[in-house]
Amino acid sequence: MNEYIITNEQINQLASELLNKNWNVVAESSDGISFKSITQGEDIKLNPSSKPSNLSPKQFFFPKSETLFFYKKTQTDVEIIDTAGVGNKTIIFGVKPCDTALTGILSKVFNWDYKDEFFNKKVENTVLIGLKCGYNDDDCFCTSVGLSPESEKGSDIFLVPLEDGSFLAKAVTEKGSEFVKENSKFFAPATDAKSKPVEMKAAPQKKFDPARIKEWLDHNFENEYWKSLGDLCLGCAQCAYVCPTCHCFDIVDENFDYMSGRRVKNWDCCQYTMFTKHASGHNPRSHQSDRYRQRVFHKFKYYPDRFETILCTGCGRCIRGCGIGMNISEVLQQIDKF
Amino acid sequence: MQTIENIYKPILVEIIEVIQETADVKTFKLKFKDPEQQKSFSFKAGQFAEYSVFGVGECTFCIASSPTRMDVIECSFKVAGKVTSALDRLNVGDTMGLRGPYGNWFPIEEMKGKNVVFIAGGIGLAPVRCVIWNVLDLRKEFKDVTIIYGSRSVGDLVYKRELEEWAQMNDVKTVVTVDPGGETPDWKGEIGFVPTIVEKVAPSGVDTVAIICGPPIMIKYTFPVLEKLGFTEDNMITTLENRMKCGLGKCGRCNVGNVYVCKDGPVFTHKQIKALPDEY
């Protein structure tokens, strides 16, 4: 039996105990902006109906800026100093299904040949506590990309809110089961007499069919539609930064002083002019429409072609955050009608 | 401290010789700082690497030396951006970084027993030169070898000493050309754009593989000439040179359609290139 009951109070106590054991305990911050490390157990207030935070928890697996190594130079020599690449044990509480799915999706690109252990070790080192979602607005479209408010994909333990205020906790992975075993005093076995799950807002309606979208994309790399979209998009990249699955990065050197520094992997974005620009000045994606098309193609054709997974979780963050109202869900709905 | 396996960590190499090819092109001869790493390093003609200047960053180009000559690794670069400018300032004895080899390679094994035509323009001779030496070092295993190389001007010809060496060889036909207006008064080679000279030299496409690298415009106009000479789409092989950062199929910028140049390339047949969207 992999189902347990945990109360809000027990979650707070569990978090306190993990903090005492030097775990990095993470939850959505109360300002709704991002997921942050907390300093006391009571800071965790799980709210299934809250709007997704502006930033996804992607940064805990693929940081905005990550040291690859340090270097120290002498006159003619260089010394490379390794980094640990992974910190304290981490637990993230209250992650909605459109965010828990990110680890499974991203592990494909980070492991398809060369293995990016910076990503892998963080996934291994993290316990993801998923939470059934009771939020639904016009921008949500998880059900159109194969997920749902109760999808357990990526969660180690999945919480379902019950009418009596407690949660049904399902251990989804082996790591989740181990975690429950190690912290068994906070988890009571679920009995048949358990309270009923809370009625929540209905899941978002299916808005488009990704199979049909891919079929259209297969034949419409050249299409006037892309030009009309490119004229609107500013290429500011906020959509990629808030996205749980966008993973393009840059590698740059940062000097501390003349003789030492670090090489870092930084978030980058395919919407930037410089992203593909050659040193010669030639740019294979010179117009914004080429770059917007790349974003849609990467998510709904290239990634599924190669990894059999859509590079999108339907969280809607890129739509809510766009300064000029670009709406990928509407773009896909339009394509579905072509 | 526990450390993790790091695919982004370069191997340290020392510059043992610098050759000024042209005003803005240099060749470095590189030796691994750790002899053990030198021994275990292997690559195939056409593969590329990420070269780094610590404190400035990384830059992508091919390994210009042949895998048949493993005592040193060579790279040639044209000063164009931030990292190549920093490379330009390095001297003999300096340490730089190298990650690789990455990507696919020219099908040397399948080329054996066939004629080979090398066609290169400008700095595009670097990846071709690697295959030329690979073929010449195994000369008996190939039929006729033709080298057609052109640059904008006499001053822009790279590997001049090797062009002369190839011209001296009895079993290699070497034709060097410069663009009209790029000749000097004592220039004895051809004058004309590469596609025109290919048409003039007219190598037979029968049982022949053509390896073509150079500016996109040169490649574009050379393909139709080769088609007329009877080359098949599978026997015209070139490379794509998109901007890269990781070289490992992760950073997401070198793709042309759903093809990753760093993983599925950089070597492609004309047939494969024709199937790609116009995004390179």
- Greatest alpha-carbon span in chain B: 66
pLDDT greater than 70 at residue A301: yes
What's the pLDDT tens digit per position in B50-79? 999 999 999 999 999 999 999 999 999 999
Q: CA angle, corner A327, sides to A323 and A329, nearest 5?
A: 155
**CB-CB neighbours of B153 under 10 Å:** 14
What are the two backbone dihedrals, phi and then psi, of residue A88, each rounded to the nearest 5 degrees? -65, 160
Residue B109 pLDDT > 70, yes or no?
yes
3-state DSSP helix/strand/coil % of chain A, to nearest 5: 35, 20, 45
Residue in A closest to B276 by C-alpha? A221
Average pLDDT, chain B: 94
Whether residues B251 and A268 touch (CB distance < 8 A) is answered with yes
pLDDT above 70 coverage of chain B, percent: 99
Q: What is the mean pLDDT of residues A149-156?
A: 96
End-to-end CA distance of chain B: 44
B1 pLDDT band (50/70/90 cuts)?
Answer: low
**Which of A86, A249, A280 has its CB closest to that of B251?**
A249
Chain A 210-249, residues with CB within 8 Å of chain B CB atoms: 221-222, 247-249
Residue A195, pLDDT score: 84
Kindly list the residues from chain B whose CB atom is less than 8 angstroms away from the CB atom of residue A276.
242-243, 253-254
pLDDT interval class at A9 (50, 70, 90)? very high
**Cβ count near A197 (within 10 Å):** 14
Q: Which one of B81, B253, B263 has the shortest CB-CB distance to A270?
A: B253
Q: Which of B250, B263, B264, B276 to mutate to test the interface with A (most CBs of A within 10 A)?
A: B250
- Taking residues A170-176, what's their average pLDDT? 96
pLDDT value of position B181: 94
Q: Do B255 and A302 touch (CB under 8 A)?
A: yes
- Among A116, A261, A302, select the one facing B7 at the smallest CB separation: A116
C-alpha B118/C-alpha A129 separation (Å) is: 59
Q: Is A90 exposed, middle or buried (0-12, 13-18, 19+ CB in 10 A)?
A: buried
Whole-number average pLDDT of chain A: 94
- Assigned token pair, A167: 């949660």
Q: Which helix (H) or strand (E) holds A129?
A: strand A126-131
CB–CB contact B84 A279 (8 Å): yes
Note the pLDDT of residue A279.
Answer: 87
Give contacts of A261 with chain B, Cβ < 8 Å.
Answer: 54-55
Give residue A1's pLDDT.
Answer: 58
The stretch B221-229 carries a mean pLDDT of: 95
A261–B56 CB contact, under 8 Å: no
The reply to whether residue A253 touches residue B95, judged by beta carbons under 8 angstroms, is no
- B226 to A180, B106, B198, B235: CA distances (angstroms): 68, 18, 8, 10
Contact B245 A68 (CB under 8 A): no
The answer to whether the CB atoms of B4 and A282 lie below 8 A apart is no
pLDDT, average across residues A290-295: 95
Beta-carbon separation of B250 and A83 below 8 A: no
pLDDT of A194 higher than 80: no
Residue A279 near chain B (CB below 8 Å): yes
Q: How far apart are CA A202 and CA A136, in angstroms?
A: 7
Interface test with B, best of A276, A307, A310 (most B CBs within 10 A): A276
Rounded CA-CA distance A106/A101 in Å is 9
User: Are the Cβ atoms of B4 and A115 closer than 8 angstroms?
Assistant: no
Q: Is the pLDDT of residue A191 over 90?
A: no
Alpha carbons A53 and B247: distance in angstroms, whole number: 33
Query: If you average pLDDT over residues B84-94, what whole number do you get?
Result: 96
Give bridge partners of residue A78 from the DSSP assignment: A73
Cα distance between residue A190 and residue A168, in whole Å: 7
Strand ranges inside A176-273, DSSP E: 188-189, 249-255, 260-267
Q: Which amino acid is at A24?
A: N
Is the CB of A73 inside 8 Å of chain B's CB atoms?
yes
Please indicate if any CB of chain B lies within 8 Å of the CB of A295. Answer: no
pLDDT score recorded for residue B155: 95
Tally of residues, chain B: 280
- Residues A129 and A171: their CA atoms lie apart, in Å, by 9
Residue B3: pLDDT band (50, 70, 90) is confident
Give Cβ neighbours of residue A256 (< 8 Å, ≥ 6 apart): A262
Q: Please report the DSSP string for B142-187 in residue order.
A: SS-EEEEEEESSGGG--SHHHHHHHHH-TTEEEEEEE-TT---TT-
**ipTM > 0.85, yes or no:** yes
